[in-house]
Amino acid sequence: MGLDTMKIILKGRKISKGKGEGYALVTNQAISFLAGVDPDRGVIIDKNHELKNKSIINKVLVFPQGKGSTAGSWIIMRLAENKTAPVAMINVETEPIVAAGSILAGIPLVDKLDKDPTEIIQTGDLVIVDADKGIVEVIKRG
């Protein structure tokens, strides 16, 4: 790491196994996968969401929790099938819809980190998620 980068290590709880690395896309708003994400394009489509029209493809998606219908798990699975899914997800606290979808889709997911990820991680930070160990590395560029 150069002088203009800083690494932060966060520890949390594994929800869905695996490892993923990519640039963060961060929101303080909950995400409804059923009504809020287009699984064919991998884009947030909720007209009231701050991430409207943003791509989640190959991103580390950081959000407080999911919301909405249990069919959201199916949308997460479709994202993975369509190769339009995030490489990993980080929640403040995961609820069952996002947990089930991530496990079935094979998307690494962690939550209950020792610091609020929506405050520590910024959109564009490079993030490495090792869900198996419950460790998130955040590389911030100066």
Mean pLDDT by groups of 10 residues along the chain of 142 residues: 81 98 98 96 97 98 94 97 98 97 98 98 98 98 70
Provide the pLDDT for residue 24: 98
Q: Is residue 69 annotated as a catalytic residue, yes or no?
A: yes
Task: Please work out, in degrees rounded to the nearest 5, the angle formed at the alpha carbon of residue 26 by the alpha carbons of 83 and 54.
Answer: 50
**Distance between the two ends of the chain, CA-based, in angstroms?**
11
5/11 Cα distance (integer angstroms): 20
Which pLDDT score, from 0 to 100, does residue 19 have?
98
Predicted local confidence at residue 69, as pLDDT: 85
Marked catalytic residue, from 55, 69, 73, 102: 69
Domains identified in the chain and CATH numbers: 5-141 (3.50.30.10)
For the whole model, what pTM was predicted? 0.96
Predicted local distance difference test score (pLDDT) of residue 1? 52
> How many Å apart are CA 44 and CA 46, to the nearest integer?
6
